[in-house]
């Protein structure tokens, strides 16, 4: 199929067969797995996945690509959902799911937060993302990549960067390096927030000004005694605080 990648859909089609084989090996699809692919594109992952599975669900926005997929030899194994994945209700696909995809980089962060809402229905996810985003997802405290994204999504998932992918693996080639991340669902792995909305606000405010101390970022929300009660130095920055401590601080403040 001659298909011009559409910038508005964030399309960069994976074409490196070695990378494709590595991703499929990492996913390790089993015959009866419930697998959902986001953004199948021209089928780089869809075709080998369909060869390993009884059935595969795919979510695609581009109508031309949907028509292309409907005419592929593996089409009888597909359930094709047309629409915006940011509005997609993953609960309509029953069972514990594996979710995979070469995600559009322009919507990757909001999409990950959308998927976090379904973490209890997901076993694991494998995504191609901008390498910088993967580094932020997997980051640990006291590193330059550690931030709000790290803490908020590590609440739901254990993360691991598994493959680094150069721009030449795609057509057209993006302007950034890419990487594949494995996200294993482990809700509450850093503790359980008694009020998740409060926890989210606390994390967001803590990282609002990265160079400010946690004392200053949380002024009006937590005082020095509150911070010290959780083993947090008020003169430290948010990037020095472990995810578990954010959960503990949130629960302490809610309890007050």
DSSP 5-55: PPGGGT--EE--HHHHHHHHHHH---TT-EEEEE--TTSTTHHHHHHH-S-
Q: Are residues 115 and 179 in the same domain?
A: yes
Last residue of a domain, one of 151, 185, 219: 185
Rounded alpha-carbon distances, angstroms, from residue 25 to 12, 30, 118, 132, 233 = 21, 11, 24, 23, 44
pLDDT tens for the chain, residues 1 to 256: 444 444 444 457 788 999 999 999 999 999 999 999 999 988 999 999 999 999 999 999 999 899 999 999 999 999 999 999 999 999 999 999 999 999 888 899 999 999 999 999 999 999 999 999 999 999 999 999 999 999 999 999 999 999 999 999 887 787 889 999 999 999 989 999 999 999 999 999 999 998 999 999 999 999 999 999 999 999 999 999 999 999 999 999 999 8
The model's pTM is 0.91
Residue 106 within any structural domain of the chain: yes
At 162 the pLDDT is 96
List the beta bridge partners of residue 167. Answer: none
Last residue of a domain, one of 135, 163, 185: 185
Last residue of a domain, one of 138, 156, 185: 185
The length of the chain, given as a count of residues: 256
Q: Are residues 64 and 153 in the same domain?
A: yes
Q: Are residues 250 and 213 in the same domain?
A: yes
CB 103, CB 124: distance < 8 Å: no
The dihedrals phi and psi of 61, each to the nearest 5 degrees, come to: -95, -30
Q: Are residues 243 and 177 in the same domain?
A: no
At 188 the pLDDT is 87
Residue 161 within any structural domain of the chain: yes
State which residues form the domain around 202: 196-255
Sign of CA dihedral 25, 27, 28, 30: negative
The number of C-alpha atoms within 13 Å of 109 and in the hemisphere containing its C-beta is 12
List the beta bridge partners of residue 145. Answer: none
Number of compact structural domains in the chain? 2
């Amino acid at each position: 199929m001659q298909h011009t990648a559409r910038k508005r859909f964030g399309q960069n089609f994976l074409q490196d067969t070695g990378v494709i084989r590595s991703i499929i090996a990492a996913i390790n699809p089993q015959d009866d797995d419930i697998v959902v692919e986001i953004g199948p594109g021209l089928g780089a992952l869809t075709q080998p996945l369909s060869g390993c599975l009884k059935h595969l669900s795919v979510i695609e926005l581009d109508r031309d690509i949907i028509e292309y997929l409907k005419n592929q030899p593996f089409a009888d194994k597909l359930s094709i959902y047309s629409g915006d994945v940011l509005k997609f209700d993953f609960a309509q696909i029953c069972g514990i799911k594996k979710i995979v995809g070469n995600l559009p980089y322009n919507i990757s962060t909001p999409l990950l937060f959308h998927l976090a809402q379904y973490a209890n229905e997901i076993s694991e996810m494998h995504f191609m993302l901008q390498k910088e985003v993967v580094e932020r997802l997997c980051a640990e405290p006291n590193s330059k990549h550690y931030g709000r994204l790290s803490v908020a999504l590590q609440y739901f998932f254990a993360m691991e960067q598994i493959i680094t992918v150069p721009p030449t693996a795609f057509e057209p080639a993006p302007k950034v390096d890419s990487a594949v991340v494995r996200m294993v669902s482990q809700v509450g792995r850093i503790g359980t927030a008694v009020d998740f909305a409060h926890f989210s606000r606390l994390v967001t405010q803590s990282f609002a000004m990265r160079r400010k101390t946690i004392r200053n970022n949380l002024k009006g929300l937590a005082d020095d005694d509150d911070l010290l009660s959780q083993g947090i130095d008020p003169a430290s920055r948010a990037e020095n605080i472990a995810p578990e401590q954010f959960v503990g601080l949130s629960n302490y403040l809610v309890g007050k």
